[in-house]
Structure 1
Amino acid sequence: MDRLTEMEAFATVVDQGGFTDAARKMGISKSAVSKHVSSLEARLGARLLNRTTRRVSPTEIGLAYYDRARRVLNDAGEADALVTSMQSAPSGLLRISVATDFGVNHLSPVLGEFLKEYPEITVNMVLNNRYVELISEGFDMAIRIGELEDSTLRARKLITTTKRMIGSPTYFQKYGRPTKIDDLNDHKLLHYSNQASGNVWKITAPSGEKRQVRTAGWLTVNDGQSLLNAAVSGLGIAYLPSFLYREALEEGLVEEAIPDLPVENLGIYAVYPPGRFTQPKVRAFIDFLVKSFADKQPLIW
């Protein structure tokens, strides 16, 4: 007899508490279930079930075997489901976490095209400016910008953006323009409150040396667009990715604070739970984003 069928018959008898209910669950006769269990016990050379006229219960050996058998059966079921899902069109609810700035400006505009391409997928996009725990909070994936923290999550790079210090012409007219990193100590800096490093800017000097600048400012906020608005208003110097400030720079609303400094590159990543198998809906969305952002260059958004 088939070993997996024997396991299934035995595990179902334990789950259902008897042969009659197990037979009903499996859709076969009671005698067939009994034959499968007897064959299993004969092959193993051990009694797995205590049988009485009133009830059936696993022996000590049977209980130990049940734990392993149930795991094997669950894995087999997942393997079958995996093959089925890989052959079918991506579908189901896709729950995404993304920073508000990037979600509003660059993810929202392309979602309509994605949903038209994959009509069996529904999207729940959560915009927030905090680090979410994907698995415990029920997210399928997240879009993260900058250096990734050590994690068991899988990641795929979507595109690269740049990060520069910017301020308004009126600010520079009033307070002067910094010419080197040390000059920032005399300026009003606009900080992003959700940075793990706090109010510290990590800047590369012309020599390639990594410098850290910690200076208090007039404003600390957890939203990049608000920092850009503050910089445009002349409240100080902000350190922002190009996908936020590029349009304001082209319109002359802001200028680079220290243009001679090396450009800081930031990766934009799709991160998702670990495992050898990526859900089709997640894989479809990541592939779509890679294609959608293919024409984006680090300095051109």
Structure 2
Amino acid sequence: MDRIDAMRAFVTVVTEGSFTRAADRLALSPQLVSKYVAQLEQHLGLRLLNRTTRKIHLTEAGIRYHERAQQVLNDIDDMESQLGDLHTQAQGLLRISAPVSFAIRHMAPLLSDFQNAHPSVGIDLQLNDRKVDIVEEGFDIALRIGRLKSSSLIAKKIAPIRLVMCASPGYLAQHGTPRRPEDLSNHRYLRYSYMEQGGGEVLNRWLHRGGQHRHSDMTSNNGDVLVAAAITGAGIVLQPTFISGQAIQEGKLQIILPEYEPEPMALYAVFAHRQLMASKVRYFVDFIGGYFGDPPYWDRFNC
């Protein structure tokens, strides 16, 4: 019995939920897959699966063995991928999750340049401001903005993310320019739904004073909408400069209360914790690391 083949057959049966589907995935006959699992159980002296006519169920021993066997197979696949990278370019489909506004504004040139450098890599970019589970949902990399909490994932800082409070010159001429945080309570505020992800304690205390949305004439889960509304004079907005920077540079928005600017957050590339990475992931992480510049190009304006 080839123990690796038997182990792979067992793990695939558990993943697919049946011997027939596992056989299709492995391009083997159901009889051979069943034989591999039976030989594995005989070798271990333990029953790993309870079989019925309709379903399979893991035994307690099967649960423990499946977890360790999956890790062993992952390590083998990663080792072979690492060795293959010594003489091959990055290749395969790279699945990326990224925040909506950042991706729309800044990722098209990046992905185009990356594929020009690595033409054997396909890109599947999914935009979502929700924090995806990259392992469960099958992503290779997720780009995330904020202050990351500790986890089993690996995170590489890509660029600082600066938050500024701003409003249109027309709005400020009509309603006055706030000089202190407490002045914000007298202004219309364009509120981002996920403000708890960052914002600065002093500003947040006044923007959320009393637990109420004072003069909060607009709320949205999309920063581009709020910045566009601020440009038209709808109110004051607190947004990252990768969204508001161009409007600030063009004079359509004016930064207010700069001395109370929140501590910068960061853009991170997050990927699963593996001792060995597939070449497509490693090349992309290295590529994006220096792509946006220092400071990033969206922060190169006078203010």
TM-score range, shorter chain: 0.7 to 0.9
Where does residue 93 of structure 1 map in the other structure? 93
Whether contact under 8 Å (2:152, 2:273) holds in the other structure is yes
1:291 maps to which residue?
290
CA apart distance, 1:95: 1.2
Per-residue deviation at 1:279?
A: 2.7
CA drift at 1:146: 1.7
Match of 1:213 among 196, 207, 223: 207
Secondary structure of 1:63 counterpart: coil
For residues 137 and 46 of structure 2, what CA distance do their matches in structure 1 show? 34
Q: Is the 8 A contact 1:203 1:213 kept in 2?
A: no
Distance in 2 of aligned mates of 1:155 and 1:247:
28
Structure 2 equivalent of residue 236 of structure 1: 235
For 2:53, the equivalent position in structure 1 comes to none
**d(CA) in 1 for partners of 2:128, 2:41:** 51
| CA displacement, residues 242-271 of structure 1 (integer Å, 9 cap, x when unaligned) | 111111111110101213324531211111
Bigger Cα displacement from structure 2, 108-117 vs 56-65? 56-65
Partner of 2:263: 264
The match for 1:160 is: 160
Alpha-carbon offset, residue 159 of structure 1: 0.9
Q: Once the 2 structures are TM-superposed, how far is the Cα of residue 109 of structure 1 from its aligned partner?
A: 1.7
Is residue 84 of structure 1 aligned with residue 91 of structure 2? Answer: no
Q: Kindly state the Cα deviation for residue 181 of structure 1 after the two structures are TM-superposed.
A: 0.8
User: Which runs of 5 or more structure 2 residues have no equivalent in the other structure?
Assistant: 14-18, 20-27, 49-60
Q: CA deviation at 1:82?
A: 2.0
The 5-angstrom pairing of residues 192-207 of structure 1 reads 192-196=192-196, 201-204=199-202
CA distance in 1, matches of 2:9, 2:235: 72
When residues 10 and 166 of structure 1 are mapped into structure 2, their CA distance, relative to the original with a 3 A threshold, is: closer
Superposition deviation, residue 94 in structure 1: 1.2
Question: 2:156 corresponds to which letter in structure 1?
Answer: R
Query: What is the distance in 2 between the residues matched to 1:299 and 1:125?
Result: 25
Cα separation, partners in 2 of 1:12 and 1:141, compared to 1, 3 Å: closer
Give the drift of 1:136. Answer: 2.1
Distance of 1:114 and 1:299 partners within structure 2:
23
**8 Å CA contact 1:8, 1:73 repeated in 2:** no
What is the 5 A alignment of 1:61-80? 62-63=45-46, 77-80=73-76
Q: Aligned residue for 2:134?
A: 134
Q: Which of 57-66 and 109-118 deviates more? A: 57-66
Q: 1:189 to 1:13 in 2, by over 3 A?
A: closer
Matched, 1:146 2:128: no
Paired amino acid for 1:85: S
Mean alpha-carbon deviation: is it higher for 73-82 or for 144-153? Answer: 73-82
User: Is the Cα contact below 8 Å between 2:110 and 2:291 reproduced in 1?
Assistant: yes
TM alignment of 1:5-84, pairs within 5 A:
7=3, 62-63=45-46, 77-84=73-80
CA distance in 1, matches of 2:8, 2:129: 47
Q: In structure 1, what is the Cα distance between the partners aligned to 2:245 and 2:176?
A: 22
Whether contact under 8 Å (2:184, 2:206) holds in the other structure is no
Q: Classify the secondary structure of the residue corresponding to 2:136.
A: coil
For the residue of structure 2 that corresponds to 1:96, the secondary structure is strand
Question: Is the CA contact (8 Å cut-off) linking 1:165 and 1:256 kept in structure 2?
Answer: yes
Letter of the 2:178 counterpart: P
TM-score, normalising length: structure 2: 0.72
Once the two structures are TM-superposed, the CA of residue 106 in structure 1 deviates from its matched residue by 1.1
Separation (CA, whole Å) in 2 of partners of 1:201 and 1:10: 53
Note closer, same or farther for the CA distance 1:149–1:196 as it changes in structure 2 (3 Å cut): farther
Tell me the amino acid that sits aligned with residue 125 of structure 1: L
The structural deviation recorded for 1:154 is 1.6
Q: 1:286 to 1:176 in 2, by over 3 A?
A: same
Q: Percent identity?
A: 28
Partner deviation per Cα, 1:168-219 (whole Å, 9 max, x = no partner): 011111111111111111111111113446xx943457xxxx8563144111
Please give the root-mean-square deviation of Cα atoms over the aligned residues, in Å.
3.8
Q: 1:188 to 1:84 in 2, by over 3 A?
A: same
Larger radius of gyration: 1
Q: Does the Cα contact within 8 Å between 2:114 and 2:284 map onto a contact in 1?
A: yes
Calculate the TM-score normalised by the size of structure 1. 0.72
Equivalent residue pairs, number = 259
AA at the equivalent of 2:292: F
Deviation at 1:287, TM superposition (A): 0.8
> Aligned pair in 2 of structure 1 residues 267, 212: CA closer, same or farther (>3 Å)?
farther
